[in-house]
Amino acid sequence: MCVKCMQRHVLFLCLKFVNAYILEVLNKYISNIGIISFCQHILRYGKGDKGMVDIHNDILQFFPGKMRDEWKDKIQEIDKSKKNNWTLQEIRLRVNKRVVLIIDGAEYITDVIYSDKAMEDIFKYLCHDSIYAYEEERRQGYLTMPHGHRIGITGELVYVEGQGYIAKYIRYMNVRIAHQIKGAAFKIMRYVYDDNDQTLNTLIISPPGIGKTTLLRDTIRLMSDGFTDNISSSNANCRDINSKKTEQKQYRGINVGVIDERGEIAGAYHGSATLDCGLRTDIVTGGDKDKGVRILVRTFAPRVIAMDEIGGKRDADAIYYAGVSGCSILATAHGNSLEDIQKKPEFMELIQKECFQRIILLSKDDDGNRYIQIKDGKGNDICGRSLLQEY
Residue among 83, 93, 82, 98 at smallest CA distance from 59: 93
Helix (H, G, I), strand (E, B) or coil at 164: strand
Residue among 225, 147, 211 at smallest CA distance from 360: 211
Distance between terminal CA atoms of the chain?
69
Q: Say how many CA atoms lie within 13 Å of 75 toward its Cβ.
A: 16
What amino acid is encoded at 68 in this protein?
Answer: R
What amino acid is encoded at 166 in this protein?
Answer: I
Alpha helices in 83-182 (DSSP H): 116-126, 135-140
Phi, psi of 152 (to 5 degrees): -75, 135
In order of their start, the domains of the chain are 50-176 (3.30.450), 186-387 (3.40.50.300)
Q: What pTM was computed for the model?
A: 0.77
Print pLDDT tens along the chain (391 aa): 554 445 444 444 444 444 444 434 444 443 343 333 333 333 333 333 333 345 567 688 899 988 998 898 888 888 888 877 788 889 999 999 999 999 888 899 999 999 999 999 999 999 988 888 888 888 889 888 877 788 999 999 998 887 788 888 999 999 998 888 899 999 999 999 998 999 999 999 999 888 899 999 999 999 999 999 876 555 556 765 554 545 678 999 999 999 998 888 998 877 888 899 999 999 999 888 999 999 999 999 999 999 999 988 889 999 999 999 999 999 999 999 898 888 888 788 888 888 999 999 999 888 778 899 999 999 999 998 888 865 4
Round to whole Å and give the CA distance between 228 and 280: 17
